[in-house]
Structure formats: structure tokens, C-alpha cells
């Protein structure tokens, strides 16, 4: 009888084939979207962080999709554009814009407030345009006024812009009035014209004045006719100013009244804000921190992410694509499944090989002596 024995070489070849068969389950070919550099996209973000060495990667997605095209993140560059010193208690002070030397406007190193002492932690000298500037100005104008005078509602005020050296004038309203002493002014006169001078009498208001009468006798009536109060005006003399004359067929004669009037000294103050022209200048922005409070630094970072195009069109995933994604996302589970499958395949192979070994035994040569012993054993 012939018994066949499986050689070690054959067993090793079978085991190797088994392993290759299992590995082939996770390989193969399929429809895969190939990545190629057909274009780039840059996305810029500005953010704040307490980490000076922050890479900025956490601010961006690894894959960016635009118009159906996938772009993969390739690099992120960062730049610190500003630093902000923080404190438990602090405040910011911004100075007025100035155009002269900054040394004249240096911020104070310490400021005392109601709740404590604050120390200058940071100061920046910045440029800016001083528009919308204004300067308050006022001026006094004194008037000598009589009863019939009206005071001007506006007066001309001059202001000098110390920053530019320019002088400006503007009409501003009256803001207050101060009345001074009153006095009699002897330099007072007014003209009189008498019509129908050749008539027997003429009218002075409602009063009939006979021809040839002394006009000074009617001084009070004349003031009343002109609506000039006697407590403010007095007529002391009326004299003729030339001879009579004909005008349009009517005779006229002129006269002049002399007297005095009461004057009052009035001082009016005009004032207000005058707009100044815009100028380029500088200003300080300062951060003060209360002494005894904790401080820290916040970094303002500008990050630029560069994406490179991966695919023209977003293609649907094949089964192999899906399987590869699943394997990459679940490495531990994949390893366990692989080992179980490998163990199962090896077990099946060993079982099949065992069956074949029993069915195909190698032939053995049996001698005569062995046959006799066998026969005697039977009896």
C-alpha cells in the first residue's frame, strides 16, 4: 500500500497562497479620482490667540469645495499683526490729534484714579486726519445806542488755529448783553420839510400851525409826531435851512431841528464754535493697567491657507473607495477583522489538507514473514 505524505514545501506554498488571497480582498482596482494641480485657492483669516506659536491649521478645513471642485489644504502661513496686552483691570486712552512734536504730548507714566493707580503698559504713536475740529471763540463789541437803534443779532468773530497758524472769521450770534451808563448826546439834529409853505397855515400831524409861527413852540408836538419819547429826545432849537422853493407847483421850505438825545453804552458778546480745516497729524493710543492685577498677551494673527485643486468634478465614490475610507477611519476594527479572516482561511486550508492526507496514504511493502505472522495471529 502506498501512503502519500504532504511535504513541508507544499504546506508553505499553500499558506502563502492563503495570505495573498486574503490580502487581495483589500486591494484591487476601481474608479478613483486622481488629484492634480490644476489651480489654487487662498483663504485669509484673522483671529486672536494666546499661543504665540499657533500654526493656524485649526482655523481651516482640510478639504475645501467650490463649484463642485475639491481643493486640498497644502500649507498655512501665519503672521502676527498685533499684540494686545490684557489685564484684570485696564483702560485705553486716546489723545487728541496734534501736528507738532510728539514729545510735547507724551502720555503720563502713571495715572491716579478713584479705584487705584494705573501704569502705562503700552503706547502707540499713530497717524490720523484731524477733521471736524472746532474751536470756541468769542468777542465783545461795544455800541453807543439811542432809543430807536436795534442791536445787531450777529457779530464777526476772529479765531486763530494754533496748529496751522490760519486765522478764520465767522459771523456768530449774540450770547449776552451788558448795558452800561446812559448820557445825553448834544450832537442831535434832524431835518424838517414844510409843504404848502405859502398857505395861511400847515398841518403838523393833527395840529394846524399858522404861517409865520415860531416852530420851536411846537417842539413837543413835533417829537410826538415822529414817535420820539420826550425822556429820550429834546428839541432845543429849530432854524430855517434856506428859502422857500417851488416843486411841482407846491411851495416848500426846509428847516433843521437841533437838540439832544439820550445814549446808552451797550456791550454785546458774540461767540460760539468755529469749524477748523482738516489737517494731518498724530495721536497716542495708550493702554493703562491697574497696578497689582495680572497681565497676559493676546496675539492677533493673520493666517493664509493655500488649497490646491484635487478633482475637476466631485465623483461618486465606488465600493472600493468607500471601503478604503472605512478602513482608514477604523484601523483597529480592520485589524481585528483581518486576523479573524486569516485564521478562518488557515483553518479551512488545514482541514482540507487533513482530509486529503487520510485518503491518499503512501504504499508500504509487506514481507513474507510479516504475512505468516499475520496469518498465525488470525488462528
pLDDT tens-digit readout, 124-158: 999 988 777 889 999 999 999 999 999 999 999 99
pLDDT digits (tens, 9 = 90+) for 281-291: 899 999 998 88
Instruction: Indicate the pLDDT class of residue 24, thresholds 50, 70 and 90.
Output: very low
pLDDT digits (tens, 9 = 90+) for 62-112: 998 888 788 889 999 999 999 886 656 888 999 988 888 899 999 999 999
Distance of CA 33 to the CA centre of its chain: 45
Residues sharing a CB contact under 8 Å with residue 290, sequence separation 6 or more, in sequence order: 87, 88, 89, 90, 115, 116, 117, 118, 119
Q: Which 8-state DSSP code applies to residue 100?
A: S
Give me the residue spans of the domains in the chain.
7-30+315-362, 89-131+281-293, 188-265
**φ/ψ of residue 88, rounded to 5:** -60, -40
Judged by average pLDDT, the poorest of 37-41, 244-248, 371-375 is: 371-375
Evaluated on CA atoms 302, 308, 314, 318, the torsion sign reads: negative
CA-closest candidate to residue 197, choices 258, 257, 255: 255
Rounded to 5 degrees, what angle do the CA atoms 372, 374, 379 make? 95
DSSP secondary structure of 45-84: EEEEES-TT--SGGGS-SEEEETTEEEEEEEEEEEEEEEE
pLDDT digits (tens, 9 = 90+) for 264-318: 999 999 999 999 888 888 999 999 988 877 667 888 999 999 999 875 444 555 6
Instruction: Note the pLDDT of residue 134.
Output: 87
Mean local confidence (pLDDT), 182-189? 95
3-state SS string over 295-364? EEEEEEEEEEEEEEEEECCCCCCCHHHHHHHHHHHCHHHHHHHHHHHHHHHHHHHHHHHHHHHHHCCEEC
pLDDT digits (tens, 9 = 90+) for 196-237: 888 888 877 677 889 888 989 999 989 998 999 999 999 999
Q: Which H/E stretch holds residue 140? A: strand 134-145
pLDDT at 365 over 60: no
pLDDT at 4 over 80: no
CA-closest candidate to residue 32, choices 314, 317, 235: 317
pLDDT > 70 fraction of the chain, expressed in percent and rounded: 80
Q: What is the mean pLDDT of the chain?
A: 81
Instruction: Note the pLDDT of residue 316.
Output: 52
CA-closest candidate to residue 93, choices 288, 293, 290: 288
pTM here?
0.42
Amino acid at each position: 500500500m502506498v501512503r502519500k505524505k504532504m511535504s513541508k514545501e507544499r504546506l508553505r506554498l499553500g499558506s502563502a497562497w492563503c495570505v495573498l488571497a486574503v490580502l487581495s480582498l483589500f486591494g484591487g482596482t476601481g474608479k478613483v479620482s486622481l488629484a492634480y494641480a490644476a489651480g489654487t485657492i487662498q483663504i485669509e483669516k484673522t483671529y486672536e490667540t494666546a499661543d504665540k506659536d499657533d500654526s493656524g491649521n485649526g482655523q481651516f478645513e482640510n478639504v475645501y469645495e467650490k463649484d463642485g471642485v475639491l481643493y486640498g489644504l497644502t500649507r498655512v502661513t501665519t503672521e502676527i499683526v498685533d499684540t494686545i496686552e490684557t489685564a484684570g483691570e485696564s483702560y485705553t486712552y486716546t489723545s487728541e490729534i496734534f501736528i507738532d512734536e510728539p514729545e510735547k504730548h507724551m502720555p503720563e507714566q502713571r495715572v491716579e484714579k478713584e479705584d487705584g493707580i494705573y501704569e502705562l503698559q503700552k503706547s502707540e504713536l499713530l497717524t490720523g486726519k484731524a477733521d471736524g475740529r472746532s474751536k470756541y471763540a468769542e468777542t465783545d463789541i461795544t455800541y453807543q445806542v439811542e432809543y430807536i437803534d436795534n442791536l445787531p443779532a450777529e457779530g464777526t468773530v476772529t479765531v486763530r488755529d494754533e496748529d496751522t497758524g490760519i486765522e478764520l472769521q465767522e459771523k456768530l450770534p449774540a450770547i449776552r448783553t451788558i448795558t452800561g451808563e446812559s448820557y445825553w448826546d448834544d450832537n442831535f439834529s434832524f431835518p424838517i420839510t414844510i409843504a404848502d409853505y405859502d398857505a395861511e397855515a400847515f398841518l403838523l400831524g393833527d395840529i394846524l400851525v399858522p404861517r409865520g409861527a415860531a416852530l420851536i413852540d411846537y417842539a413837543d408836538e413835533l417829537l410826538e409826531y415822529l414817535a420820539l419819547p420826550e425822556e429820550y429826545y429834546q428839541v432845543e432849537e429849530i432854524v430855517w435851512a434856506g428859502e422857500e422853493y417851488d416843486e411841482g407847483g407846491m411851495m416848500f421850505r426846509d428847516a433843521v431841528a437841533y437838540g439832544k438825545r439820550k445814549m446808552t453804552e451797550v456791550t454785546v458778546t458774540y461767540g460760539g464754535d468755529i469749524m477748523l480745516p482738516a489737517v494731518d497729524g498724530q495721536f497716542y493710543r495708550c493702554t493703562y493697567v491697574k497696578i497689582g492685577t495680572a497681565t497676559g498677551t493676546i496675539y492677533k494673527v493673520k493666517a493664509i491657507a493655500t488649497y490646491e485643486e484635487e478633482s475637476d468634478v466631485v465623483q461618486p465614490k465606488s465600493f472600493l473607495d468607500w471601503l478604503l475610507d472605512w478602513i482608514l477611519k477604523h484601523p483597529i476594527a480592520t485589524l481585528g477583522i483581518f486576523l479573524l479572516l486569516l485564521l478562518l482561511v488557515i483553518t479551512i486550508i488545514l482541514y482540507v489538507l487533513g482530509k486529503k492526507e487520510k485518503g491518499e496514504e503512501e504504499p508500504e511493502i509487506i514481507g513474507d514473514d510479516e504475512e505468516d505472522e499475520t496469518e498465525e495471529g488470525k488462528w
